[in-house]
Copies of this chain bind each other. A is one copy, B any other.
Amino acid sequence: MPEQVSGAGRESFGSRLGAAMASRGPLCVGIDPHPALLKRWGVEDDAAGLRQFSLTVLEAVAPLAAAVKPQVALYERHGSAGIAVLEEVLAAARDQSVLSIADAKRGDIGSTMAAYADAWLRDGSPLAADSVTLSPYLGFESLRPALDLAAETGRGVFVLALTSNPEGASVQHVGGEDSVARRITTAAATENARYAGSLGSVGLVVGATVGSALTDLDLDLAAVRGPILAPGLGAQGATPADLRATFGDAYPLVLGTSSRDILSAGPRPDGLREAAQRTLDGLRGQ
C-alpha cells in the first residue's frame, strides 16, 4: 500500500518535493530556451545555444529552486540534437540535486501511454526525469501506466487540470457542477490516497492567473494533497500575492513557476540568481 520508499530505493516524489519546498521554498524555475530569449542572450538558436542556455540557468538556480522545469517543446524543435541536450540537462539536474519536471504534456492510451511513461519515468531511460506533465484529454484513467510507474520508481506526474489561457475554458469548464476540471481534480485526490505523508506524487497544473475559476468550478485543491504546479508568475501577470489570494487554503501545495522573468535576467549567473532569489523571497513572504 503506502510505500514511501519505492522499489528503486528512492523516496516518493511527493516526499522529496515536499522536503525541497520546505527547505528552499516553493519556487520552480522554468528552463525555456525560446528563440527570442536565446537571441537576447546572444547565443545561436541551435543545439549548442540550447545547451549553453540550459546549463547556465540550471547551474545558477539549482541551489535556490525546489525544482526546475525544462520545456520539452523547445528542445523538440531541434529534433534529436535538441533531445540530446535535454537528456544532458536532466542528468545535470540530478547531479546538482534539484528536482526536475519535464514539461512534456504527454498523453495517450494503453501500450502507447506505457511507452511515454517508460520514456520519462523509468530508471535508466535517457530522458528519465523526477516528474513529467501529462494531458488528460483521453481521460484521467488513460494515464494509468504513468501513474503506476511513477509510484513504482519514486517519481511523479503533474496532470493538466485548469489553465488560465482563455481557450482552456471551452474544454475544462464544460459540464456545469461536474466540470471536466473538477473530474480531473477529484481523480487526482483519489489517486493520492495511495501515498502516505503530507504530499502525494500526483500533482496538478493549475494556472497562476485562473482568477475566480477555482471557486466558480468548486475545485477543492487542498483535498488533492498533491503539488500544484502554477505557471504564470511574473511575465505572465501573477504576483506571489495573487497566488496566495487565488489558491487560499491550498497555497502550501503551490509550486510557483517563473520562466521569462528570471530567464531574461541572464546570461550572467548572478543576474539569474538575483532574479530567482527575488521571486523566491516573494513566494516565501506569503
Contact = CB atoms under 8 A, between A and B. Distances in A.
Interface of A: 32, 34, 36, 71, 73-74, 76-81, 83-84, 86-87, 105-113, 115-116, 118-119, 125-127, 135-142, 160, 163, 165-172, 174-175, 178-180, 183
A85 B168 CA distance: 34
A110 B175 contact: no
B77 A119 contact: yes
Contacts of A81: 80, 126
A167 B142 contact: yes
Given A137-B135, A140-B170, A165 B116 contact: no
Copies of this chain in its oligomeric complex: 2
Nearest to A260: B111
A136 to B, nearest CB: 6
A53 to B, nearest CB: 14
A197 to B, nearest CB: 28
A107 B135 contact: yes
Given A79-B127, A105-B107, 12 more contacts: A34-B111, A73-B115, A74-B112, A74-B115, A107-B135, A109-B167, A136-B137, A138-B167, A138-B168, A141-B170, A142-B165, A171-B171
A168 B142 CA distance: 7
Contacts of A112: 32, 71, 73-74
